[in-house]
A and B are shown apart, each in its own frame.
Chain A
């Protein structure tokens, strides 16, 4: 009888697995089990996954060795050694939800830190909330997470995408770059759509005379942009904007530069610092670059940043740190701050999710890119300062340097609490504090 067999099989299987997981549940009170999620395969592995993992490994090793400068000199998280469970973000949102649940429920990790893709962030947040477990998002861009939902156990330690494009627009103003018309090329999915919407909106506020001439929407992962480039050349806008990233952006630059698209024209690449190391001198000079925060070369001198640059240099000789390195470190230090705050409150015990979530609300900490503050989304969403600059190939150092750098205070490029970033941009940045 099939169903009976099935029931039997299920119960039996459950028994087996149950037993062997309960044996694995032996909770260790002086290690902090951290699941770290990033793209280990697929289109985002090269540009985001690999660097993020490099950064996490370097920082966590240092944390466990207690070799960070104050105030991060405690071993691991408040004395708890950090044990990392690596999870591949590739495979779609459904898989991410499953893996998140397994990480918490089966592997009993104390917190999950990760996620580059906005889709994944949106998908896993409700799952973490349902399990009442701490989830820290360190990279994904979409503002929707805390503007459309309220979460108790979910935090994002990096600013959302709106700031990237507001800063780009402000850079044009600050540098007195006036353009008559704009052409845009963005991937046809949420990241590209949102980025362009924000940049277009910001420009409409700051340089209303700039007209949009053409919007191109290549597929994510297209890799070939010949036709798009022709279309841009034909429309011949004074400014070309793109939020492309990773392999797509590299391919675009490789194909656009030889055809003169990036010559005598303002080119704005809102999230592109991470393609400078691979592209090297194939990236033309004078391109306006954003790094989704004062990351990499934009980072200003500070004890923690000096330490971080040195640490990466020793761990990975010749590595040029870029945004994913910075965002991962920023997330780890934010989590560390929260955990240690919670332990201070509960008398040094290993904190549970409740305590950590409570402690993390609204915290501030100093990360390599500068001072970070969970100011939005009722203290769940970080804001941070941002910067932009122009590319300049340095033949001696054999690397692209960033020059004409402008920094923008966090409150200047991020919306104040209680207003959606889209509305904030549309209303002309009310309450923006630009020193």
Chain B
């Protein structure tokens, strides 16, 4: 229990620190951080899957589901409260996750990845044809309210959203930390390590992966809803494979040891992207590609492993899925 208390305490501190940071940092960084956290939540879902040895290349499905759930709620039912919209996003992710999980829980490695990818591309195709949802151009959303507080479109609107996003992010992160540190969390680790033993100990690897998948789906929905609010716009690209690919990269970049690393990674990626596109408008994609390669090459364990190296008395020794030979074919 001590661990949980410490994590919760840390969460409170983090909230305070972020609230403070929101004042200190320039507005553009507030906006970047807001979006980074939203995307980070989706990546956190992939991290939860990675701990069980799976990587989804189709989290765009849930990201998109969350975003459109929030968007439709806002446009069709005039729901404007951020908390409510994010809750709807989470529910959308949850429902979709529960439907899909049983279909995919039996697969591993590249098969799992391609299946999830295929799924997201179908969602993408369908949304492009759904003119009532704006088709390929998508929909615009207006600024949300926060528990009854309606900030005018202005600096404090973006600060309010940042605060709200940070709150949701920290809560989600803390819950994930607690889950990862729990016996069940450890079991995911074990399942990635040796499925046979897990089965012979009387546990079901299918269930472990299924639950992780649903967790990832919910986080994806939440992240999608938050992104929709911070962008003020949603379109089918939310489900496009490059979007999902970005989340996978975030997860790899952060590694699965530290939850915090996910969000650091998210901010880092946003900054690298925007600065490279500012300084090399003609070759920013190439620059991004090089950055990707270097990270994967020199940080196989992700930023999280870096943090562990800095702090010797770490939790369990980190091994990137990269170095993990298990779980090829189902």
Do A and B interact directly, with beta carbons closer than 8 Å?
yes
Among residues 99 to 156 in chain B, which have CB atoms less than 8 Å away from a CB atom of chain A?
128-129, 131, 134-138, 140-143, 153-154
B135: chain A residues at CB < 8 Å are 189-190, 193
Please give the distance in Å from A200's CB to the nearest CB on chain B.
15
- Given A2-B10, A10-B18: A105 and B281 within 8 A (CB)? no
Please give the distance in Å from A117's CB to the nearest CB on chain B.
9
- Given A1-B6, A17-B26, A193-B131: A119 and B137 within 8 A (CB)? yes
Chain A 96-107, CB-CB to B under 8 Å as 1, else 0, gives 011101101111
Q: For the complex, give the distance between the alpha carbons of A15 and B25 in Å.
A: 7
A118/B137 in contact, CB under 8 A: yes
A4: chain B residues at CB < 8 Å are 10, 13-14, 17
Q: Is B237 an interface residue (CB 8 A)?
A: yes
A148/B274 in contact, CB under 8 A: no
Minimal Cβ-Cβ distance residue in B for A11? B21
* Residue in A2, A17, A107, A148 whose Cβ sees the most chain B Cβ within 10 Å: A2
Q: Is B168 an interface residue (CB 8 A)?
A: no
Minimal Cβ-Cβ distance residue in A for B230? A97
B281/A123 in contact, CB under 8 A: no
Interchain CB contact (< 8 A) of B138 among A8, A17, A90, A122: A122
A119/B131 in contact, CB under 8 A: no
B20: chain A residues at CB < 8 Å are 11
Q: Is A407 an interface residue (CB 8 A)?
A: no
Interchain CB contact (< 8 A) of B136 among A11, A102, A125, A189: A189
Please give the distance in Å from A217's CB to the nearest CB on chain B.
9
Q: For the complex, give the distance between the alpha carbons of A411 and B24 in Å.
A: 52
**Prevailing SS type, chain A contact patch:** helix
A142: chain B residues at CB < 8 Å are 137
Please give the distance in Å from A227's CB to the nearest CB on chain B.
18
Q: For the complex, give the distance between the alpha carbons of A276 and B230 in Å.
A: 42
B260/A3 in contact, CB under 8 A: yes
Q: Is B11 an interface residue (CB 8 A)?
A: yes
Q: Is B282 an interface residue (CB 8 A)?
A: yes
Please give the distance in Å from B152's CB to the nearest CB on chain A.
10
Q: Is A247 an interface residue (CB 8 A)?
A: no
B154/A105 in contact, CB under 8 A: no
Q: Is B31 an interface residue (CB 8 A)?
A: yes
Among residues 197 to 250 in chain B, which have CB atoms less than 8 Å away from a CB atom of chain A?
227, 231-233, 235, 237-238, 240, 242-243
Interchain CB contact (< 8 A) of B31 among A17, A91, A105: A105
B281/A6 in contact, CB under 8 A: no
Please give the distance in Å from B28's CB to the nearest CB on chain A.
3
Q: For the complex, give the distance between the alpha carbons of A132 and B157 in Å.
A: 12
Q: Is A41 an interface residue (CB 8 A)?
A: yes
B138: chain A residues at CB < 8 Å are 93, 119, 122-123
Q: Is A22 an interface residue (CB 8 A)?
A: yes
Q: Is A428 an interface residue (CB 8 A)?
A: no
Please give the distance in Å from B175's CB to the nearest CB on chain A.
13
B232/A106 in contact, CB under 8 A: no
Q: Is A265 an interface residue (CB 8 A)?
A: no
B237/A18 in contact, CB under 8 A: no
A119/B307 in contact, CB under 8 A: no
Q: For the complex, give the distance between the alpha carbons of A122 and B174 in Å.
A: 36
* Residue in A6, A105, A149 whose Cβ sees the most chain B Cβ within 10 Å: A6
- Given A92-B242, A97-B233, A102-B278: A7 and B21 within 8 A (CB)? yes
B260/A6 in contact, CB under 8 A: yes
Q: Is B251 an interface residue (CB 8 A)?
A: no
Q: For the complex, give the distance between the alpha carbons of A48 and B267 in Å.
A: 32
Interchain CB contact (< 8 A) of B285 among A90, A98, A106, A132: A90
A6/B263 in contact, CB under 8 A: yes
B153/A125 in contact, CB under 8 A: no
Q: Is A86 an interface residue (CB 8 A)?
A: yes
Q: Is B324 an interface residue (CB 8 A)?
A: no
A21/B267 in contact, CB under 8 A: no
Q: Is A179 an interface residue (CB 8 A)?
A: no
Please give the distance in Å from A19's CB to the nearest CB on chain B.
10
Among residues 1 to 56 in chain A, which have CB atoms less than 8 Å away from a CB atom of chain B?
1-11, 13-15, 17-18, 21-22, 40-41
Q: For the complex, give the distance between the alpha carbons of A404 and B53 in Å.
A: 67
A126/B140 in contact, CB under 8 A: yes
- Given A90-B285, A92-B237, A132-B154: A9 and B264 within 8 A (CB)? yes
Q: Is A234 an interface residue (CB 8 A)?
A: no
B26/A22 in contact, CB under 8 A: yes
B281/A188 in contact, CB under 8 A: no
Q: Is B258 an interface residue (CB 8 A)?
A: yes
* Residue in B232, B267, B271 whose Cβ sees the most chain A Cβ within 10 Å: B232
A101: chain B residues at CB < 8 Å are 28, 31-32
A102: chain B residues at CB < 8 Å are 28, 32, 274, 278
B13: chain A residues at CB < 8 Å are 3-4, 7
A98: chain B residues at CB < 8 Å are 31-32, 35, 270, 273-274
Among residues 153 to 202 in chain A, which have CB atoms less than 8 Å away from a CB atom of chain B?
188-190, 193
Please give the distance in Å from A55's CB to the nearest CB on chain B.
17
A125/B140 in contact, CB under 8 A: yes
A41: chain B residues at CB < 8 Å are 282, 285
A7: chain B residues at CB < 8 Å are 13-14, 16-18, 21
A11/B259 in contact, CB under 8 A: no
Minimal Cβ-Cβ distance residue in B for A124? B233
List of 7 A-B pairs having minimum Cβ-Cβ separation, nearest first? A7-B17, A105-B28, A3-B10, A14-B25, A189-B136, A126-B232, A3-B14
12 additional A-B pairs beyond A3-B7, A102-B28, beta carbons within 8 Å, are A3-B11, A10-B33, A87-B277, A90-B285, A93-B138, A97-B231, A98-B32, A119-B235, A123-B231, A129-B153, A149-B140, A188-B128
Can you list 26 A-B pairs with a CB-CB distance of less than 8 A?
A: A2-B259, A3-B7, A3-B174, A4-B13, A4-B17, A14-B25, A15-B24, A21-B26, A87-B278, A91-B277, A93-B138, A93-B231, A93-B237, A97-B232, A97-B233, A98-B35, A102-B28, A105-B26, A118-B137, A119-B136, A119-B235, A123-B233, A130-B143, A130-B153, A130-B157, A189-B137
